[in-house]
Amino acid sequence: MEFNARRYDNNEPVRIRIEGERIAAVTPLQDDGSFAALPIVAPAFYDLQINGHGGIWFGQSDLTPEKVLSVLKPHFSFGVTRMFPTLITNSNENLLHGFEQIRKACEQEKWADQLVAGCHLEGPYLSGEDGPRGAHPKEHIRPANWDEFQGWQEASGGRIRLVTIAPETEGAIEFIRRAVEAGITISLGHTAAEPDDIKRAVDAGATMSTHLGNGAHGTIRRHPNYIWEQLANDGLTAGLITDGHHLPASVVKCMVRVKGTENCIITCDASGLAGCPPGLYHEPDLDVEVLEDGRVVVAGQRQYLAGSGASTLDCVRWASQIPEIGLKSACDMAGNQVAHHFSDEEITLEVGKRADLICLARGETDVTIRLISTIAQGEICYGEIIH
């Protein structure tokens, strides 16, 4: 497979040749001005937090491998070639079931196994306080329990690579130590922690913040508080939901300035209702509303969001319009920096790298991008290649 495109990182026109799963050649083209309309080529996205799609949640009690596959498949059309299916706070039984169905789906389909780079367990060892708890069902919030977690890890076939935990939860620090020792990445989130709890968690090996600035009280003490503390801690990479609803652009700008774009990761935190039309949905633990503007909220109010209705591509598009970020950094924040944090293969536009690429078309302005095609391990999984 061969095609011409402009590099996302320096806008230079190149001819890319793919052989098998890898990039075989990246040849610069003489820029005579005729290449302005070429698509942009960038590494494909890697999203750590996908809860479901099209009305299916990974945590639902009647999940089947077929349903898992139906959630996974549309993500190629959002430029995603690696992702972590995410299960949130739930009963032991439902978590066991969910992870088992994900494992079976991966065992059934090679493409699914390649797409599922790991799983994310967000909860159930979180703050029970309203606000930080977000949309996580209160009755299933509980103290950290390593033995209980082992059951889920086994059900997933060892796929859980990321756990979001509130460090002030009983047993959390010991849990963090054991998880890090087992090679699992720990992210802090849905927390009402005091600064000391956060420091202790980082000392124990936590390296990330889950959707920093969300999963928080509506009103908090001006300082100290858990948002400043995580912002100021250089040991924590910040996950940000840049869908335009979870965080105002001014907050994203400040967070990115403090952390540096290289220490921020974009996630869409897609709800199981992503891709569903506006309306009221009765979910097992919670009534959720999809609003006309695309927000997904806990029904009956407008302040607390229940994940997003946006895709990773939507989040990259929104973030790229913030001058401190731009398209190149937005792509890296949603792709290579995630791979880097998990010591997975970083995809750059170089010979020998895994051919997980996307082609984007610019819209009427520089930042209204549109996905033309997604290539995963050398195969076209969405759209078409313009030769």
Site for Zn ion, rule CB under 5 A: 215
- Minimum Å distance from CB 214 to Zn ion? 7
Residue 41 or residue 166: which is nearer to Zn ion going by CB? Answer: 166
Residue 124 or residue 244: which is nearer to Zn ion going by CB? Answer: 124
The two beta strands, 80-88 and 45-50, are parallel
DSSP string, 104-124: HHHHH-HHHHHHB--EEEE-S
Residue 209 or residue 320: which is nearer to Zn ion going by CB? Answer: 209
- Minimum Å distance from CB 184 to Zn ion? 18
Cβ atoms of residues 12 and 41 within 8 Å: no
Taking the C-alpha atoms of residue 263 and residue 318, their distance in angstroms, rounded to an integer, is 18
- Minimum Å distance from CB 51 to Zn ion? 9
Residue 213 or residue 215: which is nearer to Zn ion going by CB? Answer: 215
- Minimum Å distance from CB 6 to Zn ion? 36
Residue 215 or residue 244: which is nearer to Zn ion going by CB? Answer: 215
Cβ atoms of residues 62 and 96 within 8 Å: no
Q: Is the peptide bond before 74 cis (omega within 30 degrees of 0)?
A: no
Report the half-sphere exposure of 346 (CA within 13 A, side-chain side): 11
- Minimum Å distance from CB 122 to Zn ion? 5
Residue 263 or residue 267: which is nearer to Zn ion going by CB? Answer: 267
- Minimum Å distance from CB 210 to Zn ion? 6
Residue 43 or residue 307: which is nearer to Zn ion going by CB? Answer: 307
- Minimum Å distance from CB 134 to Zn ion? 5
Strand order in the sheet with 279-283: 279-283, 286-290, 296-298
CA 108 to centroid of chain Cα atoms: 24
Element (H, E) at 181: helix 172-181
End-to-end CA distance of the chain: 9
Residue 121 or residue 331: which is nearer to Zn ion going by CB? Answer: 121
CB atoms within 10 A of CB 358: 31
Which amino acid would we find at residue 71? V
- Minimum Å distance from CB 138 to Zn ion? 14
- Minimum Å distance from CB 356 to Zn ion? 26
Residue 79 or residue 215: which is nearer to Zn ion going by CB? Answer: 215
Q: In a 10 Å sphere around its CB, with 0-12 CB exposed, 13-18 middle and 19+ buried, how is residue 116 labelled?
A: buried
Please identify the residue of the shown chain whose CB is closest to the bound Zn ion.
Answer: 215
312-320 vs 326-333: helix axis angle to the nearest 10?
A: 150
Which amino acid would we find at residue 114? Q
Angle at 235 between CA 134 and CA 220, to 5 degrees: 35
E-state strands within 167-236: 185-188, 208-209
